[in-house]
Amino acid sequence: MPTIKDVAKKANVSIATVSLVIHNNNRISPKTKRRVQKAIDDLSYHPTRSARGLVSQKSGNIGFILTEDHFTRSEPFYSQIFLGTEFIARNYEYYILLTTITPNFSGEDRLPRFVLENNVDGIILAGKVPDLLIERLQEYKLPLAFVDYYPSTGNFPVVMIDNINAGMQATQHLIDCNHTKIAFLAGDFEHPSIHERFQGYKMALEKAGITFDERNVISDLPYPSRKYGYQAVTRLLSQCPDITAIFACNDAMAIGVLRYLKEHGLSVPHDISLIGFDDVEADIYLDPPLTTMRVPKIDMGIEAIRLMVDFLNNNISNPRKVLVPAELIVRQSTCSAA
Amino acid sequence: MPTIKDVAKKANVSIATVSLVIHNNNRISPKTKRRVQKAIDDLSYHPTRSARGLVSQKSGNIGFILTEDHFTRSEPFYSQIFLGTEFIARNYEYYILLTTITPNFSGEDRLPRFVLENNVDGIILAGKVPDLLIERLQEYKLPLAFVDYYPSTGNFPVVMIDNINAGMQATQHLIDCNHTKIAFLAGDFEHPSIHERFQGYKMALEKAGITFDERNVISDLPYPSRKYGYQAVTRLLSQCPDITAIFACNDAMAIGVLRYLKEHGLSVPHDISLIGFDDVEADIYLDPPLTTMRVPKIDMGIEAIRLMVDFLNNNISNPRKVLVPAELIVRQSTCSAA
DNA sequence: TTGGCTTAGTTAAACGTTTAACTTGTGAGT
DNA sequence: ACTCACAAGTTAAACGTTTAACTAAGCCAA
């Protein structure tokens, strides 16, 4: 491997000059620049990361932190976001270092190795992470950015799904199909995202002049899953049999709903229209394929890197918030009301 | 951030001693070791990656190279392998740096930045990569390991699916269900993996004393996909209407087959049993859920890292090959022949 | 007493860059 | 002719480690 010294010798200049040429400093005359550049090319020299990192105190890496349960869960939501960051990072000459942490991070737990080793220039945190972790990270003065989670305290760059708008859009789609008896199946309201989707649901109803009816909402189940989707719709139809459309807060619930309706001889979409949220891979294989709101997971990762790089390069002081829009994907589980 | 100097001062020793304590060198007395260790703990000192990397010429990183098409394809096969490497790497104190390269890598293309910057200690290559790339990488004397691809020249550590055995197992499962008229839908034989599955198919037949019939094999389609699965079964059933079981070389084809059979009023599994290969997420949502051979993608990544780390630590000279087994997942698309 | 061996450290160079501070040469202004 | 400013480089320190080579002290055998 050639070093900067080899280049300097070959071009008959000092190593400082070589460095200045590499950084395109205008203290060097065009003529010398050309000569040095030729030497660089001839030797196919490239500065070493460690040496550069040591003196500049920049690693060229961005850390990505996930809790273990988020990483290993079956639905690959956060790993898609992660892949988004990996994908775009190279355009900005950064590499991503991934690590997971335990969801019950405590005082005894060590911080991620890349923090201790000074091996990242900034950190992206995806999903809910413990407050204590955030506090401890801040001691290291590393820029932080959040994806799909907004810490209760502090003012950070953040990327969130535009859940309110998406909730409105989904509901509006059902309204456009002439539905008025529209249910919302929440699972629970623990997660802010779901509550926001619910707000969007209510806003769309209001805008259309449909009075909101509490009995059309099921929100007292542990969390949104296939199993609880099945349970939710069971109760819904017993208390409101005249429902013609259902907005499930995510696709997992929608799949449970679909199973129930099939088992009870109700046709989707003819008897009941159904819309989900997320756009999981399985949706297109369902019978009928599920209409849903597509969440651009990859894009969320991309946006997070953009925020981080903006910050790193320009040291923008006031942190930006990005709301990424979800997209309505109309398939065959929704149609006009009879 | 405290440096090694701060520790040395606090413990009243030279920085060399601190370094030796960190590396647990037995030239230092237990007493001194304790004193230094206390200073390290009190200051919560941790050596810096760049400085360590500069002098030791080790980055602590492993590179992961994929061709762009492999990364962006919808079926997340290679990205799962990648996540497997990410997942396990931390146990060995390595980080993974990902990059993609163009599938038509030529002389003009630059090598991945992490190679030029001396920022990886070894490289894992997943899927088919251009020979030229391999040649160019070897000039850098970096250890290479391959996953799901075996370069035609050279002797490298490699992780492959045990396709022959898996092909046998899948076929054996159908035989165990008393089927004898068993078709194999290959799409094409371009990819060695598929040809190996086919070999397994033939071996299982032979072992069971079933004579192999060429007409039960469709292998002249461009590649295995849903679309070509549909076409393949169309032709198959016209030339061999007495088939009772089908082994599709991957799940994509199997899904196409399933659609055809449904559309033509054939019941799966009662009229025809169907087995796929891969275990994609959608399988469980199909009607009926698809019996298949599960490929442990995550495990493949894990094995690749193990090979690489073994090599890096012990410099094992003779490269190991690992065959990871696929696992039969019996669902509802196969049953006993009538 | 001398020499040699062992133990427990220390000294100092080296790794490959970046960059602040300095130098040298040239031309313009007075 | 002298100063001053500027252009185009160079010198040398610094970044934070690791490690080969050295040293000093203690002990033991001859």
| pLDDT tens, position by position, A83-92 | 999 989 999 9
- Whose C1' is closest to the CA of B17: which nucleotide? C9
Q: Which residue has the tokens 């197992």?
A: B169
Strands B144-147 and A273-275: unpaired
Cβ pair B114:A95 closer than 8 A: yes
Judged against a pLDDT cut of 90, whether residue A317 lies above it is answered with no
- B 33-72 residues, CB < 7 A, strand D: 45-48, 51-52, 54-56
Q: Which long-range contacts (CB under 8 A, 24 or more apart) does A144-150 make?
A: A145/A304, A145/A307, A145/A308, A145/A311, A145/A319, A147/A81, A147/A300, A147/A301, A147/A304, A148/A78, A148/A81, A148/A193, A148/A300, A149/A125, A150/A192
Going from the C-alpha of B275 to that of each of B19, B167, B186, B239, B278, the distances in angstroms are 59, 11, 13, 20, 10
pLDDT band at A150 (very low <50, low <70, confident <90, very high): confident
Secondary structure element (H or E) that encloses residue A126, with its range: strand A122-126
- Secondary structure of B136-201 in HEC code, one letter for each residue: HHHCCCCCEEEECCCCCCCCCCEEEECHHHHHHHHHHHHHHCCCCCEEEECCCCCCHHHHHHHHHH
Per residue of chain B (338 residues), what is the pLDDT tens digit? 999 999 999 999 999 999 999 999 999 999 999 999 999 999 999 999 999 999 999 999 999 999 998 887 766 789 899 999 998 999 999 999 999 999 999 989 999 999 999 999 999 999 989 999 999 999 999 999 999 998 988 899 999 999 999 999 999 999 999 999 999 999 889 888 999 999 999 999 999 999 999 999 999 999 888 999 999 999 999 999 999 999 999 999 999 999 999 999 999 999 999 999 999 888 988 889 999 999 999 999 999 999 999 999 887 777 889 999 999 999 999 999 87
Judged against a pLDDT cut of 80, whether residue A338 lies above it is answered with no
Going from the C-alpha of B261 to that of each of A136, B232, B257, the distances in angstroms are 59, 12, 6
Determine contact: A87 vs chain B, CB below 8 A.
yes
Determine contact: A98 vs chain B, CB below 8 A.
yes
pLDDT band at A281 (very low <50, low <70, confident <90, very high): confident
Average pLDDT of span A23-29 = 94
Q: Which residue has the tokens 């089927």?
A: B179
Cα–Cα distance measured from residue B91 to residue B62, given in angstroms and rounded to the nearest whole number: 13
Are residues B219 and B232 in contact, defined by beta-carbon separation less than 8 angstroms? no
Cα–Cα distance measured from residue B157 to residue B320, given in angstroms and rounded to the nearest whole number: 5
Cα–Cα distance measured from residue A25 to residue B304, given in angstroms and rounded to the nearest whole number: 43
The partner residues of B64 in beta bridges, in order of sequence, read B98, B124
Residue B215 CB neighbour total at 10 angstroms? 10
- Whose C1' is closest to the CA of A19: which nucleotide? C18
Question: Could you write out the DSSP letters of every residue in B285-329?
Answer: GSSSPPBEEEP-HHHHHHHHHHHHHHHHHH--SS--EEEEPPEEE
pLDDT single digits (tens) A192-240: 899 999 999 999 999 999 999 999 999 999 988 899 999 999 999 999 9
Q: Which residue has the tokens 């008959």?
A: A12
* Separation in Å: D19 C1' and A115 CA: 26
Q: Give the per-residue pLDDT at A70.
A: 83
List where CATH 3.40.50.2300 sits in chain B.
61-156, 163-295
Whether the ω angle into residue B269 lies within 30 degrees of 0, i.e. cis, is yes
Cα–Cα distance measured from residue B201 to residue B289, given in angstroms and rounded to the nearest whole number: 22
Contacts of B92 in chain A (CB under 8 A): none
Q: Which two tokens stand for residue A286?
A: 């369902």
Are residues A247 and A201 in contact, defined by beta-carbon separation less than 8 angstroms? yes
Are residues B329 and B279 in contact, defined by beta-carbon separation less than 8 angstroms? yes
Strands B217-218 and B321-324: unpaired
Going from the C-alpha of B318 to that of each of A298, B83, B157, B322, the distances in angstroms are 40, 27, 8, 13
Residue of A nearest to B118 (CA): A48
Residue A142 CB neighbour total at 10 angstroms? 16
| CATH number of the A61-161+299-325 domain | 3.40.50.2300
Cβ pair B117:A47 closer than 8 A: yes
* Separation in Å: D18 C1' and B191 CA: 48
Q: Give the per-residue pLDDT at A33.
A: 96
Cβ neighbours of residue B136 closer than 8 Å, sequence gap 6 or more: B111
Asked if strand D comes closer than 7 Å to A32 Cβ, the answer is yes
Cα–Cα distance measured from residue A133 to residue A300, given in angstroms and rounded to the nearest whole number: 22
Class of domain A4-47: mainly alpha
* Separation in Å: D22 C1' and A196 CA: 70
Secondary structure element (H or E) that encloses residue A66, with its range: strand A61-67
Q: Give the per-residue pLDDT at A264.
A: 96
Q: Give the per-residue pLDDT at A74.
A: 62
pLDDT band at A77 (very low <50, low <70, confident <90, very high): confident
Class of domain B163-295: alpha beta
Whether the ω angle into residue A269 lies within 30 degrees of 0, i.e. cis, is yes
Cα–Cα distance measured from residue B58 to residue B130, given in angstroms and rounded to the nearest whole number: 27
Question: From the CA of B202, how many Å to the nearest CA of chain A?
Answer: 31
Judged against a pLDDT cut of 90, whether residue A331 lies above it is answered with yes
Q: Give the per-residue pLDDT at B179.
A: 97
- Whose C1' is closest to the CA of A31: which nucleotide? D8
Are residues B258 and B333 in contact, defined by beta-carbon separation less than 8 angstroms? yes
| CATH number of the B61-156 domain | 3.40.50.2300
> What SS3 state is found at A300?
helix
Of the candidates A49, A100, A119, which has its C-beta nearest B117's C-beta?
A49
Asked if strand D comes closer than 7 Å to A23 Cβ, the answer is no
Main-chain dihedrals φ then ψ at residue A145, nearest 5 degrees: -140, 150
Q: How far is CA A86 from the centre of its chain?
A: 13
Kindly tell me the burial class for residue A31, based on how many C-beta atoms sit within 10 Å of its own C-beta (0-12, 13-18, 19 or more).
Answer: exposed
Cα–Cα distance measured from residue B337 to residue B294, given in angstroms and rounded to the nearest whole number: 23
Burial B257-286 (b: 16+ CB within 10 A, else e): bbbbbeeeeeebbeebbbbbbbbbbbbebb
Determine contact: A97 vs chain B, CB below 8 A.
yes
List where CATH 3.40.50.2300 sits in chain A.
61-161+299-325, 163-295
Handedness of CA B268, B272, B273, B276 (dihedral sign): negative
List where CATH 1.10.260.40 sits in chain B.
4-47
Contacts of A47 in chain B (CB under 8 A): 117
Cβ pair A113:B119 closer than 8 A: no
Cβ neighbours of residue A131 closer than 8 Å, sequence gap 6 or more: A151, A152, A153
- Whose C1' is closest to the CA of B6: which nucleotide? D16
Contacts of B113 in chain A (CB under 8 A): 90, 93
* Separation in Å: C27 C1' and A14 CA: 26
pLDDT single digits (tens) A202-213: 999 999 999 999
Contacts of B75 in chain A (CB under 8 A): none
Are residues A97 and A64 in contact, defined by beta-carbon separation less than 8 angstroms? yes
Residue at minimum CA to C1' distance from nucleotide C13:
B55
Cα–Cα distance measured from residue B146 to residue B157, given in angstroms and rounded to the nearest whole number: 6
Mutation target to probe the A interface, by most A beta carbons within 10 A, among B71, B80, B95, B227 is B95
* Separation in Å: D19 C1' and B109 CA: 38
Going from the C-alpha of A76 to that of each of A66, A103, A129, A306, B257, the distances in angstroms are 12, 17, 17, 22, 27
Average pLDDT of span A93-108 = 95
Going from the C-alpha of A77 to that of each of A131, A147, A185, the distances in angstroms are 22, 12, 21
Secondary structure element (H or E) that encloses residue B101, with its range: strand B95-101
Burial B4-43 (b: 16+ CB within 10 A, else e): bebbbebbebeeebbbbbbeeeeebeeebbebbeebbeeb
Going from the C-alpha of A38 to that of each of A11, A42, A150, B269, the distances in angstroms are 8, 6, 50, 69
Cα–Cα distance measured from residue A189 to residue A77, given in angstroms and rounded to the nearest whole number: 19
Of the candidates A46, A51, A60, which has its C-beta nearest B116's C-beta?
A46
Strands (E), A232-320: 245-248, 273-275, 292-294
Max Cα distance, chain B (Å): 87
User: How much is the CA Rg of chain B, to the nearest whole Å?
Assistant: 26
Closest CA to A273 of A205, A167, A180: A180
